[in-house]
Amino acid sequence: MSIIRKYWTGTEDFYLAGKVLESISNGNTLLNAFKEAATYLNTNVNECEFRWNAVLADYYSMPLAHAKYQRKLKL
Rounded CA-CA distance 32/19 in Å is 9
Question: Closest Cα partner for 34 from 14, 49, 17, 18?
Answer: 49
Q: In this predicted model, what pLDDT tens digit does every residue of 23-64 receive, in sequence order?
A: 999 999 999 999 999 999 999 999 999 999 999 999 999 999
Please state, in angstroms and rounded to a whole number, the distance separating the CA atoms of residues 66 and 69.
Answer: 5
Q: How far apart are CA 2 and CA 46, in angstroms?
A: 11
Band of residue 12 on the pLDDT scale cut at 50, 70, 90: very high
